Chain A
Amino acid sequence: MTVQTKFSRRSFLVASAAGGLSLGMAIPFAGPAAAQTGAQLPEVNAWVVIRPDDTVVIRIARQEMGQGTLTGLAQVVAEELHCDWDKVTTEYPTPGENVARERIWGDFGTAGSRGIRASQQYMREGGAAARMMLVQAAANRWDVDVAGCTAANSVITGPDGQTATFGEVAEEAAALDVPTEVALKDPSEWTLIGQSVPRLDTVDKVDGSQIYSIDHTMEGMLNAAIRRAPVMGATVASFDGDAAADMPGVRHVLQVGDDAVAVVADTWWRAKTALEAVEIEWSDGDGTGYDMARIRAMLEDGLTAEDTFVGNRQGDAMAAIEGAAQLVEATYHVPYQHHATMEPMNATAVWTEDRCEVWTATQNAEAALAATSTAAGLPIEDCDVHRINLGGGFGRRATMQDFVTQAVLIAKQVPGTPIKMIWSREEDMLHGTLHPITMCKMTGALDADGNLTGLHMRISGQSILAGVRPEGLSEGKDPIMFQGLNPDGDEGRLGYTIPNLLVDHAMRNPPVMPGFWRGVCNNQNAFYLESFIDELALAAERDPLEFRRALMADHPKHLAVLDAVAEGIGWDTPAPEGVFRGLCQHMGYGSYVAAAAEVSVNEDGRFKIHRIVAATDCGTVVNPQQVAAQIEGSFAYGLSASIFGEITITDGKVDQENFDTYPVVTMWEMPAVESLIIPSGGFWGGVGEPTIFAATPAVVNAIFAATGTRIRNLPLSKNGMSHA
């Protein structure tokens, strides 16, 4: 990439480029043998660089954070490039380069399970175009018709049997015009898409050599620890840093913006130790005075309020409820959740009067660049953000780039010196962007034969968009609230035909910062609906699978995954002694998912999840073993929330400060997960999130089957239940 050219203009960075090159500058590469040569090779096109030694460098705009997108995207390019997969490596362009090149790499944002599905088309075209240019270059060299030349495994063969490797003709190919029309392979011709190739980035993760943002280091770098006002909207009233200033290694005690104080020291541990000696007085904020009772009262008010937004309306649900032979009602609740990424938020920044550069782990480097520019007080073109692989994202690093803003605001007060700011775990827990709190009142109408004639689903609670991106609201309505409940569309369509249906949302926004959390609103929507469908089946005296099937005749793809897990778990056969089953289905991020669980519960409320069968129809699969990894992982994340996950608020401040008070699933609770990957073709759905929706309802439905107790308020730990 061109980062080194840029840096050579900056004396403060020349030093780091010379001394810290292996750590600081070569990071954009991932994968084995990915050392930056420093030579500026001409690219074949924006997506492909071929080195003289035939190494194939594929540019990755989306962000790897564990989900395997980097390898999958390399596969889709390599499929059309006809290169030798063993020679593939990858690199990340920077958002600054993207801006300078009129967003040639498109969107860098990596959220909503979009990494592959939203970029595969133009990346396959990029791979195909690069192949065409390489073949044309060889044809030109041989003075033959390009139609007689073919490319396979990084070798071009001419009509007379002459051969050239990609590396031999890459420079000539780079001089050609990029073709504007390319033909892509038919899926039946794919040899790499659909194959379980190993990840490109595994090797460096087994010996500690993978560099994360928190590991980034630069010549002359100082470290910062920070404390932000724990209450939303609160600011620094005053602080006394005198004691801290005299502590070992401390260089600066600084206010950061209007709501934080940082200590800058030679090492982070010294900065953090000194920060504890800083006395800070905080002002009140918007969140002052809010606790869970007050927040729950807001939501309870919404359960019966008139001021609602409608997400899905079919027929007349209220009339059906009025005329029901049997009425079923239940109210559910999902509390705030924290992302709790393993790597706490952090960023490194260098600021001078004419340039600002940041190194960080972000799911949206373009948003990080915008945050850098704003905080630096410099135009976008004088800033850049260097992307480093993430120690977990799950949405925390997607929308809010607050950690970037803070690092830049600190660096701006120490011009020319690289500053690495790291949040302690406690700081990270207190400043999450929380999965928002909601409640849901379900009202179902059954006729005398037990058929579902009407359903009202009233969601009450916090909107993410209202908190983080209010410009995304549609006349006040947050469409994300209705994920998976929509009447149509390819993103998240309700899988049931209900003649009289009303899904509406009463927006209630407590002053607590919300955020996108893996699975987002699909999580509670699936829990609410799929739990209540089981309640309706019980009232109708029907089997939960058969009750669902009766509503799904017009939803064959939803039904296919449900049937697959039912068959996989053996729904039609008796469960082992003392073991009970539950199942569910949902659609989100363009994929159809279902899960079935086998659970046992003893008299003390201790439960064991023996087995999960999870199905995904994501249309097209790029790397099955990585899809399986995502499915398995989504159950660890989803069950962490259902078993333990609850953030509570006291006087506007988060109560939980570390993993001792915010426990998550460990190997102890982790069930066996059988992944059924059943792509039906013709579309591209996401896989990073979808099965997480199915984790909670499958297990909670199985717990009901085991105990006769319906869990309507999460987490399970608050219902006297723990894992056996």
Chain B
Amino acid sequence: MKLMVNGSVREFEVEPDTPLLWVLREQLGMTGTKFGCGIAACGACTVHLDGFPTRSCAIQVQDIDETQEIVTIEGLSPDRSHPIQQAWVELDVPQCGYCQSGQIMAAAALLAETPEPTDEDIVNAMTNICRCGTYNRIKAGIKRAAELS
């Protein structure tokens, strides 16, 4: 099978009903995308699929065409320079950090769609779970990233 991940076509052998998350992590060795729940409830596995934030634990690779662009946390920027990443460092957003790949991908998708999001836009878009409770810094980070963009 083939998938377009972070700009490259990647080829692998796997059962076609395997979730994208596990292909990324196991077949492609890209562990930045995290396993949290397996039922699209927590968002730790969020990637971009043609620009849309997508919970990769709940989409099977057979349902993705190789022309569709998948972007993972590893491909968001080559050097942590995406405004979301800059803002995250500036505000020390992460605590344990486990959910942050997903949070950052969700936030980056929001910012691409809505360059100057309101509080309401942010709350509606950011449904990922963080057990450390970094929500308020995430909110501030998105606003800071909007300024940096």
Contact = CB atoms under 8 A, between A and B. Distances in A.
Contacts of B132: 66, 392, 633, 636-637
Given A65-B96, A211-B31, A667-B139, A202 B88 contact: yes
Contact of A392 (B27, B76, B89, B131): B131
Select the residue from A267, A659, A667 with max chain B CB neighbours within 10 A.
Answer: A667
Interface in B30-75: 30-39, 41-42, 44, 72-74
Contacts of A635: 133
Contact of B100 (A206, A636, A637, A667): A206
A273 B84 CA distance: 36
B27 A267 contact: yes
B42 A659 contact: yes
A658 B133 contact: no
B98 A342 contact: yes
B58 to A, nearest CB: 12
Contacts of B138: 667
B130 A636 contact: yes
Interface string A303-335: 000000000000000000000000000000000
Contacts of A203: 80, 89
B80 A206 contact: yes
Select the residue from B30, B37, B41, B93 with max chain A CB neighbours within 10 A.
Answer: B37
Contact of B37 (A199, A208, A425): A425
Nearest to B104: A206
Given A208-B32, A659-B37, A198 B92 contact: yes
A633 B128 CA distance: 15
Contacts of B80: 203, 206-207
Contacts of B136: 632, 670, 672-673
A267 B89 CA distance: 33
Contact of A343 (B74, B98, B130, B139): B98
Interface in B109-149: 122-123, 126-139
Given A342-B130, A633-B133, A625 B92 contact: yes
B15 interface: yes
Interface in A182-229: 198-199, 201-212, 214-215, 217, 223
Contacts of B32: 207-209
B133 A342 contact: no
A670 B135 contact: yes
B129 A659 contact: yes
Nearest to B41: A659
B42 A268 contact: no
A42 B31 CA distance: 34
Contact of B73 (A198, A208, A422): A208
Given A425-B39, A665-B133, A205 B123 contact: no
B35 A344 contact: yes
A340 B96 CA distance: 14
Given A202-B89, A658-B37, A632 B137 contact: yes
A664 B129 contact: yes
Interface string A143-166: 000000000000000000000000
Given A202-B89, A210-B97, A269-B18, 14 more contacts: A66-B94, A66-B97, A206-B80, A208-B30, A208-B31, A208-B33, A208-B72, A212-B31, A342-B98, A389-B96, A425-B36, A426-B38, A659-B37, A673-B136
Interface of B: 15, 18-19, 22, 25-27, 29-39, 41-42, 44, 72-74, 76-77, 80, 84-85, 88-89, 92-101, 104, 122-123, 126-139
16 contacts: A202-B93, A203-B89, A208-B32, A214-B34, A215-B31, A217-B31, A267-B27, A269-B19, A389-B96, A392-B96, A629-B95, A636-B134, A659-B37, A666-B127, A667-B127, A670-B136
Interface of A: 65-68, 198-199, 201-212, 214-215, 217, 223, 248, 267-270, 273, 340-344, 389-394, 422, 424-426, 625-626, 629, 632-637, 640, 658-660, 664-668, 670, 672-673
